[in-house]
A = this chain, B = another copy of it.
Amino acid sequence: MKKKVHNNLSVDCVIFGFENNQLHVMLTKRELVDPKDPGKIILSDYTLQGQHIYIGENLYDAATRILKEKTGLSNIYLEQFHTFGSADRLLREKDQVWLKATFPDISPQVISVAYFSLVDSSLVKPDKKHPETGWFPINDLPDLGFDHPRIINIALEYLRKKILREPIGFELLPEKFTITQLQNLYDSILGINLDKRNFRKKVSQMKFVIPLDEKQQKVPHKPARVHIFSWDVYKKTKEEKPTISL
């Protein structure tokens, strides 16, 4: 039995990961072969992970479902950040060709609710079911379908703002991480180079970044101490003094 979908509503997920000291996005290949000549590829580019919403399905559940399907992960950081609904967002020639071939009864205007997700990319196993899905560095994206360049840009802006105020960067790192890894994360997402000593001083004042009695293994240099992030400690210790800074 096939579930019924809203044919004018979809969820798109911008899934961020961090590898080689660079922020990456997960993309899926979209390819269309000429029906008359199966050797000929009419269209080949990449898109975000998106699906239509089932009738009766909560938005957040739809996003969770898509994530689970594409990464195998549950319980990961996921947040709605914007909804895209320009009347012309699917009207580019190549997107229309693809939609007509793949989704004949889609609505001419599809509103897409976009979520962004932060994952520890080392936990995402290359999926047999989705071999065409992979990580792409944010600074070197391939050709993208639909309005996905815009969606990614807005997700990135949102991430850059949010990472300054809330401890979400940890979601991109393994459970155990070093302070240098953390700094690399901030440096690369923000496109700046923070001062190493000031950064470490600041982090060591954060009670929710907890040093372990454990060091890196198998590195060809002085091994660094590893830390974990505790959301519980964060919640308990964060202070709520609003400061106006325009």
Pairwise interchain contact B56-A87, C-beta atoms closer than 8 A: yes
Which A43-97 residues have C-beta < 8 A from chain B?
A: 53, 55-59, 80, 82-83, 85-87
A14 to chain B, nearest CB (A): 15
Inter-subunit contact A245/B165 (CB<8 Å) = yes
In the complex, what residues of B have CB within 8 A of residue A8's CB? Answer: 6, 8-9
Q: A220 within 8 Å of B by Cβ?
A: no
Considering only residues 126-174 of chain A, those with a C-beta below 8 Å from chain B are 160, 163-167
Q: Which of B107, B206, B244, B245 is A246 in contact with, Cβ under 8 Å?
A: B206
Q: Is A243 an interface residue (CB 8 A)?
A: yes
Total A residues in contact with B, Cβ cutoff 8 Å: 39
Asked if A55 and B109 make an inter-chain contact with CB atoms under 8 angstroms apart, the answer reads yes
Contact string, A203-217, partner B, CB cutoff 8 A, digits 1/0?
000100000000000
Task: Give the contacting residue for A59; candidates B6, B86, B244; CB below 8 A.
Answer: B86
From residue 1 to 52 of chain A, which have CB atoms closer than 8 A to chain B? 6, 8-9
- A8, B111: Cα distance in complex, Å: 11
A164 touches B242 (CB 8 A): yes
Residues of B within 8 A of A56 (CB): 87, 108-109
B80, B82, B165, B242: the one contacting A192 at CB < 8 Å is B242
What are the 10 A-B residue pairs with the smallest beta carbon separation, nearest first?
A59-B85, A83-B83, A167-B246, A56-B87, A83-B113, A58-B86, A58-B87, A164-B244, A164-B242, A190-B242
